[in-house]
Amino acid sequence: SLILRQSSSMIGVLVPNISSPFFGTFVEGVQHVAQHERMIPLIFSADRNAELEQNYLSQMLERSIDGLIIASATMTTDTINRIIGARDVPYILFDQNYAQEGTRVLTDDYRGGELAAQHLADLGHKKIAILEPNELSENFTQRLTGFQDCLRKNHIELDVAHNVIKAPLSRRGGYDAAAAVIKAGVTAAFAGNDDMAIGLMRGLRERGVKVPDQISIMGYDDIYLDEYVSPQLTTIRQPIMDLGIGAAKMLLNKIHSDQEQEQIQRFPVELVQRQSTARVR
Ligand code: RIB
């Protein structure tokens, strides 16, 4: 008898850093959908290296890829469109990129920044440092603008010259920034993501600084490690697994429906209060 075989779609997933638990969990979400939908994901991690990222993208396009999820650290929509060129390959943008248009899965980064600042303000902190990456992709711009706007609303002045500390977006980056945070003489620090916050906590501990007694630390993401570090990390939760599920479903939809219009799916964020933040002493 004739067996009709529907072939699986092959989709490419480009993330900046697979060793970040954030992207690990995101990819799990994508795979969750893939298992049900006859879809084979190819995962690439380009380590925020522009050349590698663009190379992976062109390589994927040369094989017969059905769609792409791009969480790119370096590419603008123009670059992406240039590489995709005349090929009609649908793609979804997610997380780190420099795009203000295109079909995207978003979280409310501005709101997340506000929630983080309000939490620190509610605990009485006035001297606050921010740890942020060198290059601000659109989601970080939103996150940090929300944070700073909310400080302003609470009449808290941010000493931009000394207290905005640039560091790589990684545990090592946070760890290496510990000395600068201590030097800033702050009572609280907001790290751009949980990886940085976890590295920073270790750096502070090694320098004899107690968290949260001397410095409160606020992260961002709610990666699974947050509950396993000591003190457990206070953070802003992004629904990471749901983001992966949402991006994969949206892409499948786009592959199967020839939907041309821009679609945006927004996910909420929330404060998760744990033990790394406390009332200022
Ligand atoms: O490394 C993960 C972090 O970078 C998250 O905050 C995510 O939103 C991102 O851009």
Do residues 246 and 231 both lie within one domain? Answer: no
What is the position in ligand 1's atom list of the atom closest to the CA of 73?
10
Range of the domain at 145: 109-237
Residue nearest to atom 7 of ligand 1 (CA): 95
Whether residue 99 is predicted with pLDDT greater than 80 in this model: the reply is no
Do residues 16 and 90 both lie within one domain? Answer: yes
Inter-residue contact 76 to 101 (CB < 8 Å): no
Tell me the pLDDT band of 229, cut-offs 50, 70 and 90. Answer: very high
CATH number at residue 262: 3.40.50.2300
**220 touches ligand 1 (CB under 6 Å):** yes
174 CB contacts (<8 Å, ≥6 apart)? 131, 167, 191, 195, 196, 197, 198, 199, 200, 201, 203
Instruction: Among 221, 235, 241, 242, say which to mutate for ligand 1: greatest number of ligand atoms within 8 Å of CB.
Output: 221
Do residues 49 and 149 both lie within one domain? Answer: no
Query: Is residue 275 domain-resident?
Result: no
**109 touches ligand 1 (CB under 6 Å):** no
What is the position in ligand 1's atom list of the atom closest to the CA of 16?
1
| 5-56 per-position pLDDT tens digit | 566 789 999 998 888 999 999 999 999 999 888 889 999 998 878 899 889 8
Q: What is the pLDDT of residue 60?
A: 87
Q: What is the pLDDT of residue 74?
A: 79
Tell me the pLDDT band of 80, cut-offs 50, 70 and 90. Answer: confident
**169 touches ligand 1 (CB under 6 Å):** yes
Inter-residue contact 239 to 212 (CB < 8 Å): no
Q: And the tokens for 65?
A: 């890829």
Whether residue 259 is predicted with pLDDT greater than 70 in this model: the reply is no
Q: How many distinct structural domains can be found in the chain?
A: 2
Query: Is residue 226 domain-resident?
Result: yes
Q: What is the pLDDT of residue 97?
A: 75
Q: And the tokens for 226?
A: 């947050």
Query: Is residue 274 domain-resident?
Result: no
Query: Is residue 260 domain-resident?
Result: yes
Tell me the pLDDT band of 1, cut-offs 50, 70 and 90. Answer: very low
How far apart (Å, rounded) are the C-alpha atoms in residues 50 and 52?
6
Tell me the pLDDT band of 76, cut-offs 50, 70 and 90. Answer: confident
Do residues 72 and 155 both lie within one domain? Answer: no
**222 touches ligand 1 (CB under 6 Å):** no
Query: Is residue 38 domain-resident?
Result: yes
What single-letter amino acid sits at 48?
A: R
Query: Is residue 1 domain-resident?
Result: no
Query: Is residue 2 domain-resident?
Result: no
Task: Tell me, in angstroms, the distance from the centre of ligand 1 to residue 3's CA.
Answer: 44
Concatenated DSSP letters for 49-60?
-HHHHHHHHHHH
Do residues 93 and 120 both lie within one domain? Answer: no
Q: Considering the chain, what percentage of its residues have pLDDT values greater than 90?
A: 68
How far apart (Å, rounded) are the C-alpha atoms in residues 225 and 115?
21
Do residues 149 and 103 both lie within one domain? Answer: no
3-state secondary structure of 255: helix
Contacts 24+ apart (CB under 8 A), 32-35: 32/241, 32/244, 32/245, 32/248, 33/244, 33/245, 33/248, 33/249, 33/252, 34/248
Do residues 177 and 229 both lie within one domain? Answer: yes
Query: Is residue 200 domain-resident?
Result: yes
With 0-12 / 13-18 / 19 or more C-beta atoms within 10 angstroms meaning exposed / middle / buried, residue 101 is: exposed
Do residues 103 and 29 both lie within one domain? Answer: yes
* ipTM value for the complex: 0.93
Residue nearest to atom 3 of ligand 1 (CA): 193
Do residues 91 and 161 both lie within one domain? Answer: no
Tell me the pLDDT band of 223, cut-offs 50, 70 and 90. Answer: very high
Do residues 260 and 211 both lie within one domain? Answer: no
Inter-residue contact 152 to 109 (CB < 8 Å): no
Q: Is the pLDDT higher at 94 or at 215?
A: 215
What is the position in ligand 1's atom list of the atom closest to the CA of 192?
6
